[in-house]
Amino acid sequence: MNNQRNNDSMKLEEKIMSGIKSGQIKLRSKYIFLSKKLGLSGALSLSVILAIFFFNLILFYMKTTDNFIYLTFGKNGFLAFLESFPYLLVIVFLLFLLFTGYLITKTDWSYKKPFKYIMLMLIMIVLLVGGVLASTSFSQRIEKQAFANRGTGLFLKPFLKRGMGLRDSGLVGEIDEIDENYLIINTPRGKQYLDLSHLLSQQISLEFEKREWIIAIGERKDNIFLTKEIRLIKNKECPMIRRGIYIYPKEKPMNHFFQPNEKVKKCLHDCIEVNGFNQFCFEKCRPMK
Amino acid sequence: MNSLELSDEQIIEVIRVENKGLYSEIIKRYQNKLSHYLRKFVYNPDELEDVLQVIFVKTYKNLFSFNTNKKFSSWIYKIAHNEAINHIKKNSTNHQISLDKVEYQIIDKSVNLDNDFDKILLKEQIENSLNLLKLKYKEPLILFYLEQKSYEEISDILRIPKNTVGTLISRGRKILKKNLIVNKLYEQSKE
């Protein structure tokens, strides 16, 4: 039995060694392993950096747009909050976080500590560094590049443009025209008409002045925003939207908006006096091309 | 320098740089150890030899990926472990582990059955109970008790945290003991 085992051992050793000597079995180049290692380290570092970067953009987006402010309206503002939520940023951030977790499992050291602890540590680092980065002017520079269509920011425009987008259940802008039943406000997407005749009873007595900033929730019907609740916002709120109106080259206005001149304004006013605030007046007073 | 005086890690450095023939020394050092380990997972002697050959070939081909600051034995056992798992996945048929005398005595001592058992019956029952254990308990138990590996080495071989190794061994031992007691009660009720 032992002799048999020894013979088998010898046979195996001979078989492998003859394969090595004849060149059938070769050592894989050390450069293959080196490049694999460098590739993994590089991908891991890049993935962590991008996770931090996108988390920073999420915080920046929430801080500088109308997204979070809609929650101050209570459950009525929730729809507007959901509508203005930066889904694309959050999805990309989560994908990078998951990808980082996946790459960590491929490293030599990942098994030394339980995976959940490593992920917890990673998330803490990403949140901390991302939070610190969001408090610097870094994201604002990215935003400027994105809306000026230049630099690396250009690639990030799809992620940020939602911040200045037109919403169906919420609106932020600067008051340009005040009428008894409506407001015209400036937004990054051109002028918007707010019908105030649907305001909740406790809000009817509100008074506005030109150049004040308002945030409203309600419902968009064709070109008109039927306002349910409206309130003034502070100077420091929604800076991205403010910059969207005055700093960046104008975003292409939506087709159904137009810039009213004095003639149009008069027409609108007269029409509303007679017919009430409705779509008909806007169609009637639209300047011919 | 005589190759017998060199550590595994030193031999690997020599093989990589100048003397590929020295790999035979590695085969000599690990052939019996690995076949002893693999026998717990690969039951057919011909298949075992095939698996062993694959392990040594893979180990040789990937020698440059081994970090000589770490322990070579853990690294080659890790390759053996992976191959054993591959073999189990390919051949899902259930086989019976066969322990030698020393091995079953080690297990007997570790689960501490207080000589309650008929020793002839015990060997068979330990084999059965070990077979019934889930792979996640069986692997660390085999490496710790039968291959005499430390927690650190088992952690490197199975790529699990050291604390988890301890937990799995402790749980595995409890389950093994429970199975043995249940088996014994069953045998007694039959009598």
A195, β-bridge pairs: A182, A226
- Residue B111 pLDDT more than 70? no
Smallest CA–CA distance from A35 into chain B, residue: B65
Give the pair of three-digit tokens for residue A94.
């989560």
| Range 10-39 of B in CB contact (< 8 A) with A | 16, 20-21, 23-24, 27-28, 31-32
- Residue A273 pLDDT more than 80? no
Least confident of A25-29, A163-167, A233-237, A262-266: A262-266
Least confident of A40-49, A191-200, B68-77: A191-200
- Do the beta carbons of residue A192 and residue A173 sit within 8 Å? yes
B164 vs A contacts (CB less than 8 Å): 114
Q: What is the CATH architecture of B3-90?
A: Orthogonal Bundle (1.10)
**Closest partner residue to B64 among A19, A20, A33, by Cβ?**
A33
- Residue A157 pLDDT more than 80? yes
- Do the beta carbons of residue A220 and residue A168 sit within 8 Å? yes
Q: Which of A244, A193, A238, A246 has the alpha carbon at shortest distance from A220?
A: A193
Q: How confident is the model at residue A259 (pLDDT cuts 50, 70, 90)?
A: low
Percent of chain B with pLDDT over 90: 49
The residue with greater pLDDT, A285 or B80, is B80
3-state secondary structure string across A84-150: HCCHHHHHHHHHHHHHHHHHHHCCCCHHHCCHHHHHHHHHHHHHHHHHHHHCCCHHHHHHHHHHCCC
- Residue A80 pLDDT more than 90? yes
Q: Which residues fall within 8 angstroms of residue A80, CB to CB, at 6 or more apart? A: A66, A70, A73, A167, A169, A170, A217
Query: If you count DSSP H runs as helices and E runs as strands, how many of each does chain A have, helices first?
Result: 10, 5
Smallest CA–CA distance from B31 into chain A, residue: A9
- Residue B178 pLDDT more than 90? no
Percent of chain B with pLDDT over 70: 80
- How confident is the model at residue A249, as a pLDDT? 61
Domain ranges of chain B: 3-90, 101-190
**Closest partner residue to B65 among A15, A26, A33, by Cβ?**
A33
pLDDT digits (tens, 9 = 90+) for A186-217: 998 888 889 888 787 667 667 888 889 999 99
Q: Which of A253, A249, A251 has the alpha carbon at shortest distance from A148?
A: A249
Best mutation site among A16, A110, A112 for testing chain B: the one with the most B CBs within 10 Å? A16
Angle at CA B61, nearest 5°, toward B58 and B62? 85
A26 vs B contacts (CB less than 8 Å): 61
Domain ranges of chain A: 32-162, 167-253
Q: Which residue has the tokens 């491929």?
A: A106
d(CA A29, CA B64): 7
Give the number of other Cβ atoms within 10 Å of residue A189's Cβ.
Answer: 20
Q: How confident is the model at residue A246 (pLDDT cuts 50, 70, 90)?
A: confident
- Residue A2 pLDDT more than 80? no
Average pLDDT along chain A: 86
- Do the beta carbons of residue A270 and residue A211 sit within 8 Å? no
- The domain made up of A167-253 has a fold known as OB fold (Dihydrolipoamide Acetyltransferase, E2P) (2.40.50)
Q: How confident is the model at residue A276 (pLDDT cuts 50, 70, 90)?
A: low
- Do the beta carbons of residue A122 and residue A104 sit within 8 Å? yes
- Residue A100 pLDDT more than 50? yes
- How confident is the model at residue A271, as a pLDDT? 79
Please give, rounded to a whole number of angstroms, the shortest distance from the CA of A122 to a CA of chain B. 18
A21–B21 C-beta distance less than 8 A: yes
Please give, rounded to a whole number of angstroms, the shortest distance from the CA of A239 to a CA of chain B. 48
pLDDT digits (tens, 9 = 90+) for B79-107: 999 999 998 888 765 555 666 666 666 66
d(CA A181, CA A190): 20
Strands (DSSP E) contained in chain A are 170-178, 182-187, 190-195, 213-221, 224-232
Angle at CA A226, nearest 5°, toward A224 and A232? 105
First-residue to last-residue Cα distance in chain A: 102
Q: How confident is the model at residue A181 (pLDDT cuts 50, 70, 90)?
A: confident
Please give, rounded to a whole number of angstroms, the shortest distance from the CA of B114 to a CA of chain A. 35
Q: How confident is the model at residue A289 (pLDDT cuts 50, 70, 90)?
A: very low
A114 vs B contacts (CB less than 8 Å): 161, 163-164
Percent of chain A with pLDDT over 70: 87
d(CA A47, CA A39): 12
CB of B57 less than 8 A from some CB of A: yes
Decide if the complex's ipTM is over 0.85: no
**What single-letter DSSP state applies at residue A26?**
-
CB of B53 less than 8 A from some CB of A: yes
Average pLDDT along chain B: 84
B47 vs A contacts (CB less than 8 Å): none
Mean pLDDT of A252-260: 50
Domain B101-190 CATH (choose: 1.10.10.10, 3.30.70.20, 2.160.10.10, 3.40.640.10): 1.10.10.10
**Closest partner residue to A8 among B23, B49, B65, by Cβ?**
B49
A112–B162 C-beta distance less than 8 A: yes
- Residue A126 pLDDT more than 60? yes
- Do the beta carbons of residue A171 and residue A225 sit within 8 Å? yes
**Closest partner residue to B64 among A19, A30, A108, by Cβ?**
A30
Angle at CA B89, nearest 5°, toward B85 and B93? 115
Please tell me the pTM assigned to this model. 0.79
A33–B61 C-beta distance less than 8 A: no
**Closest partner residue to A27 among B60, B67, B163, by Cβ?**
B60
**Closest partner residue to A112 among B16, B31, B161, by Cβ?**
B161
